[in-house]
Structure 1
Amino acid sequence: MKIAAAQISPVKGNILENIEKHKMIIKAAIDHNVDLIIFPELSITGYEPELAEQLSIHYEDSVLDIFQKTADENNISITVGMPTKFDDLLFVSSIIFQPGKRRNVYLKRNLFPTETGIFSKGNGFFQMEVLQKKISLAICYDLSDPLHSQEAYQAGSDIYTASVLNSVNGINDDLVKLSNIAAKYHMYVLMANFTGKSGGYECAGKSSVWSKEGSLLGQLNGEDEGILILDTDNDQIEKVYTN
């Protein structure tokens, strides 16, 4: 299968403009026969915790219907990031669209200290299946919890994905953590990050893929939007820049 990490420069709080960015990047993925594309944390709004309450939606809101339509028509699975509301609780969420299936949602389980006064913790674990490959989803600080990746391994995951906002000052630590997860559990690991500015951070880009042995197979640059594609049949990497 082909799985892609999407790297975008978000527009602060602008849902419709960010959806247009997603559509452009997903088209590039479709043109390269990608089966699953993973976007960064809160990709539809940008990482803007102070705006999350007013921008939040129910995960089945019609504003995101275009992604289900795209998944159905092009046989591609898609995850996007969005603040969502359940029972008056606010969550950092990955919303999952798969061909012919009802959309689903994963709620970030481990919150960064600055997020705890704004968001609630999810309490579940999410694994999806694409072309008989099991893929687990993590959102940013999840990857710092050893139990999260351990659960992915115990559930038989072939691929561990991390949708993140990583700044230029924080990315190196997470690159090491993700490489270690790949090596420890013999899973492919994929990270999708922002470029540009979001949440007051200078985002680092460098969306990356690691082999099952923990070696870096490929990495995008720190500036440009695009996709990093892994073909799990042969460990080949494609880099596609869209701006």
Structure 2
Amino acid sequence: MKLCAVQCASVTGDIEANVARHAELVERAAPHDAELIFFPELSLTGYEPPLAKGLATHPEDPRLDVFQRLSVTHGMVIVVGLPLVTSGKPHIGMVVFQPHAGRLAYAKQRLHDDELPYFSAGERPLLIETREHRLALAICFESLQPDHAATAASLGADIYLASVAKLAPGMDEAYACYAAFAREHAMTILMANCVGPCDGAFGGGRSATWIDRGKRVNTLDATQEGILMLDTASLTSTVLALATPAA
């Protein structure tokens, strides 16, 4: 199975512009037979917690319909990040689009203390089932918690998709965590981080892939947008596309 982690810069607060950019990146991956593509945390709005309540929407938002069409056209699972409406504070969410199937939504279960004023936590894990794999979703802070990875493994996940919005100072620690989880649980891990504006600073990039035994097989740089593909059959990873450096 060919999986893609996208490293991209979001336009702060502009869902329509980000939808268009995401669609462009999906189209870039499609000719390479990508079967799943996923984006950084809150990729459709940018990671800006104070803005989340005003931007929060629901999985059936018509602005997202393009992803369902692209999923069907290319036979691809597409996973995007955005704040999701609840009766209280919004969730940090991911919406999953699958060919000829209903949309799925996942909400981040473990929030960082800084996120508690703006968001509420999700309550259950979500696994994507394919013919070859069971893929667990994880969002930033929770993806660095040993119990979250252990729960995914206990549910039969062999691939862990970490959608993050991390700044440069935290990346070395994140790399160490993902290598340890891949080694401990014999899971393949893909991490998609943002570049560009991120909560008053800039995303640290360095999206990467790990295979079992904790071996890191490919990495993007800290500033450029790009698409990192992993072939789970050969356990090889390639860079599909790089755009200009993020401003």
TM-score (norm 1): 0.97
User: What SS class does the counterpart of residue 78 from structure 1 fall into?
Assistant: strand
The aligned residue for residue 172 of structure 1 is: 172
The yes-or-no answer on 1:205 pairing with 2:202 is no
**Deviations 1:70-104 (CA, angstroms, capped at 9, x unpaired):** 10111000100000112234100011001111001
The aligned residue for residue 216 of structure 1 is: 216
Q: CA distance change for structure 1 residues 117 and 35 in 2, over 3 Å: closer, same or farther?
A: same
User: What SS class does the counterpart of residue 169 from structure 1 fall into?
Assistant: helix
For the residues of structure 2 that align with 1:111 and 1:57, how far apart are their CA atoms? Answer: 19
The aligned residue for residue 119 of structure 1 is: 119
The aligned residue for residue 157 of structure 1 is: 157
The aligned residue for residue 132 of structure 2 is: 132
For the residues of structure 1 that align with 2:241 and 2:70, how far apart are their CA atoms? Answer: 21
The aligned residue for residue 142 of structure 1 is: 142
The aligned residue for residue 235 of structure 1 is: 235
What is the CA distance between 1:105 and its match in structure 2?
A: 0.4
Could you tell me whether the CA contact under 8 Å between 2:89 and 2:118 is conserved in 1? no
**Deviations 1:113-137 (CA, angstroms, capped at 9, x unpaired):** 1100110010101100123310000
The aligned residue for residue 5 of structure 1 is: 5
What is the CA distance between 1:33 and its match in structure 2?
A: 0.6
Report the residue type matching 1:204 in the other structure: G
Report the residue type matching 1:113 in the other structure: D
Could you tell me whether the CA contact under 8 Å between 1:13 and 1:45 is conserved in 2? yes
**Deviations 1:58-81 (CA, angstroms, capped at 9, x unpaired):** 121111111011101110001000
The aligned residue for residue 92 of structure 1 is: 92
For the residues of structure 2 that align with 1:122 and 1:196, how far apart are their CA atoms? Answer: 27
The aligned residue for residue 31 of structure 2 is: 31
For the residues of structure 1 that align with 2:44 and 2:91, how far apart are their CA atoms? Answer: 14
For the residues of structure 2 that align with 1:199 and 1:213, how far apart are their CA atoms? Answer: 34
Could you tell me whether the CA contact under 8 Å between 1:224 and 1:241 is conserved in 2? no
Give the CA RMSD over aligned residues.
Answer: 1.0
Could you tell me whether the CA contact under 8 Å between 1:35 and 1:130 is conserved in 2? no
What is the CA distance between 1:240 and its match in structure 2?
A: 2.0
User: What SS class does the counterpart of residue 189 from structure 1 fall into?
Assistant: strand
Could you tell me whether the CA contact under 8 Å between 2:144 and 2:178 is conserved in 1? no
User: What SS class does the counterpart of residue 212 from structure 2 fall into?
Assistant: coil
Q: Count how many residue pairs are aligned between Structure 1 and Structure 2.
A: 243
Report the residue type matching 1:119 in the other structure: F
Report the residue type matching 2:90 in the other structure: L
| Contiguous gaps of at least 5 residues in structure 1 | none
For the residues of structure 1 that align with 2:103 and 2:44, how far apart are their CA atoms? Answer: 16
Report the residue type matching 1:95 in the other structure: V
For the residues of structure 2 that align with 1:117 and 1:64, how far apart are their CA atoms? Answer: 27
